[in-house]
Amino acid sequence: MQTLSRVTLALAVGLFVGLEREWRGKEAGLRTFSFAALLGALGGLLGPSFALMALALLGVLVGFLNWQSLRANQGAELTTSAALLVTGFTGILCGLGHRVTPAAVAVVSAGLLAWKERLAGFSHRLTAEELRSAILLSVLAFGIYPVLPNHTIDPWGLIAPRAVLVTVILIAAIGFANYVLWKVAGPRGMELTGFLGGLVNSTVTVTEVAARVRETSGAVANVAYRSVVLATLAMALRNALLLGLLSLPALARAALPLGLMLFGSVALVFFPMRRPVGPEPEAPPLPLESPFSLSAVLKYGALFVGLAVLGAAGQRFAGQAGFYVVSVLGGLVSSASAVASSATLAAHGQVTPSLAAVGAVLASLASAAVNVVVVARVSGNRQLNLRLAAGMALVVVLGVLGAVMQSRFPLVG
């Protein structure tokens, strides 16, 4: 039964990967991939020498496949050949008794084959700066991080280079992932653009949406209102994610105010507002830059270090009020950096999780207030300004109410 289960798993892997090749009308389809996986499984069952022989025979099969394709002037079947070799190796793993790894490899292989067009389209839309950003991420994570000291280097015990780099990488990586999501989704309407853009940079997104209101003389004010609220909602979600990744106790103590802020934002978007009549307005082109460029990383690093030092110093010399002032000022500049600095200070025991939670909430509220100011200066639409001010006031009130309830009932969160 053990041998039968291994062979059956190899057959399932071959069928699963070969199904996509068969659907595309390739010469090597269901049966070829099934035989390749079974050949590998038999080699794995019989021993290392037979496994090597199975791979050699599979290499001969790949050679014949490409020779036939070249004779027909169809070009080399590089992708199918690579998939066959991977399937053969996966069959060997099945023969050796592995279960999770072959199944995972089969799923990944089928996904890479099925998403050919989307992957190709995404890669063709990449710019040189975005490629450099991906390389910079690898250099920071695998080249610079291991050699940095893991202890503080300043007399006050505030700056630990490795902890700083980890936090900066985390902030930029979340922004970069959201940036990729925004690139993949493309312009799908102003509301979706507002949410996806808010995950990357809410201030830039709100500025462009407000500019569209000014250009259309207020014709898209209703949709722009929801777009700004969705950008603010996305900003709060990103900040909550940062807070949870860096200091889970701080997130637990900020769960109620942040949750009420998110609930208020969702209510403002979906419940009291009327849908506009007529075609949906075109989404504004957002001039978002990759958050993993060298300039962005340096900016995040400088802001994070500065806010961490100021926050710790303010808490030491001015108490909680000093820390709260630094959090608000940080939220006006970069709420992500302000939240990250608060969470990092809590993780290293320099402030309490409760203090960090309040600082994160204040930074998020300050960022939302900045969005109101930006819309008021750019849109030139008094009705939109009043509606947005009232809506953000509701969000602020809910956040403050949540903070008060959290302090009165510590068991919550």
For the chain, the domain total comes to 2
Question: Residue 112's pLDDT band (boundaries 50, 70, 90)?
Answer: confident
Both 267 and 345 in one domain: the answer is yes
The DSSP string of 49-67 is: HHHHHHHHHHHHHHHHHHH
- Range in 84-88, 196-200, 250-254, 272-276 the model is least confident about: 272-276
**Is the pTM for the entire model greater than 0.85?**
no
Is 401 within a domain?
yes
Cα–Cα distance measured from residue 214 to residue 188, given in angstroms and rounded to the nearest whole number: 21
Both 103 and 163 in one domain: the answer is no
- The radius of gyration computed from the CA coordinates of the chain, to the nearest angstrom, equals 27
The reported pLDDT for the residue numbered 181 is 67
pLDDT of 375 above 90: no
Count of beta carbons in the 10 Å neighbourhood of residue 184: 12
DSSP 146: G
Whether the CB-CB separation of 238 and 174 falls below 8 Å is answered with: yes
Both 84 and 229 in one domain: the answer is no
Question: Residue 318's pLDDT band (boundaries 50, 70, 90)?
Answer: confident
Count of beta carbons in the 10 Å neighbourhood of residue 206: 31
Both 234 and 317 in one domain: the answer is yes
Both 37 and 143 in one domain: the answer is no
DSSP 244: H
Both 363 and 260 in one domain: the answer is yes
**Look-up of token digits 């991977």:** 86
Cα–Cα distance measured from residue 184 to residue 292, given in angstroms and rounded to the nearest whole number: 17
The reported pLDDT for the residue numbered 268 is 84
- Top pLDDT among 400 and 36 is at 36
Enclosing domain of residue 283: 127-408
Average pLDDT, the chain: 80
Both 71 and 133 in one domain: the answer is no
Cα–Cα distance measured from residue 284 to residue 277, given in angstroms and rounded to the nearest whole number: 19
Question: Which of 82, 114, 146 delimits the end of a domain?
Answer: 114
- The mean pLDDT of 167-186, rounded to a whole number, is 68
Both 74 and 154 in one domain: the answer is no
Both 78 and 109 in one domain: the answer is yes
Question: Which of 91, 114, 137 delimits the end of a domain?
Answer: 114
3-state secondary structure at position 245? helix
Cα–Cα distance measured from residue 26 to residue 75, given in angstroms and rounded to the nearest whole number: 13
Sequence-separated (6 or more) residues with CB below 8 Å from residue 93: 40, 44, 101, 102, 105
Question: Which of 86, 114, 142 delimits the end of a domain?
Answer: 114
- Top pLDDT among 246 and 177 is at 246
3-state secondary structure at position 291? coil
- The mean pLDDT of 338-362, rounded to a whole number, is 85
pLDDT of 276 above 50: no
- State the angle between helix axes of 353-378 and 221-246 in degrees (0 to 180), rounded to the nearest 10: 160
Cα–Cα distance measured from residue 85 to residue 109, given in angstroms and rounded to the nearest whole number: 11
pLDDT of 273 above 60: no
Both 352 and 208 in one domain: the answer is yes
